[in-house]
Structure 1
Amino acid sequence: MHRPLPTFRVNGAAIRTIRMSAGLSTSETAERAGISRRYLNHLENGYRDRMRPGRYAALRTALGLNPDDQRLLARLPHEEPD
């Protein structure tokens, strides 16, 4: 049976906030991460909310985040604070 590749569910608003706080444009961030500007735009706007591990790691690095930083990840409803 075919198993889907693992993905990370990401928070587009957090991606945009961190990118803007770092003073990076979408084009600059996409280039650093090795992804298209359109793909990054889709993530930030919520049209896409999943990333494969390699792309997720590259985006995290492009934004200057360390591997333990989980701010880009979306929280599941049961993980939301009360």
Structure 2
Amino acid sequence: MRRTIFLAAPLALALALAGCGGSNAPQPLPPVQTPPPPVAQPDPFVAQVAQLVASQPEDAEPAALDASAPTMPENSEPGALAP
């Protein structure tokens, strides 16, 4: 009787572990996420001029732009002012 238990226990353990076996189906790969393109930071001087153009009527006196220094970014192309 004791010998039967010693043989049955490893057999039962082997069957239990075999039931937990993995599948042969390939695991789907996680989707590749591409980083978003960098957001172009507007030039401060161009942003100020665009804000003035948008807020001032055309027949108003010219606004002074002496308070801000014109800047020229070195890593981007010049942008067009939107009317």
Instruction: Return the index of the structure with the highest Cα Rg.
Output: 2
Give TM-score, length-normalised by structure 1: 0.24
- The higher-RCO structure (CA 8 Å, 6+ apart) is 1
Give TM-score, length-normalised by structure 2: 0.23
The structure that is helix-richer by fraction is: 1
The structure that is strand-richer by fraction is: 1
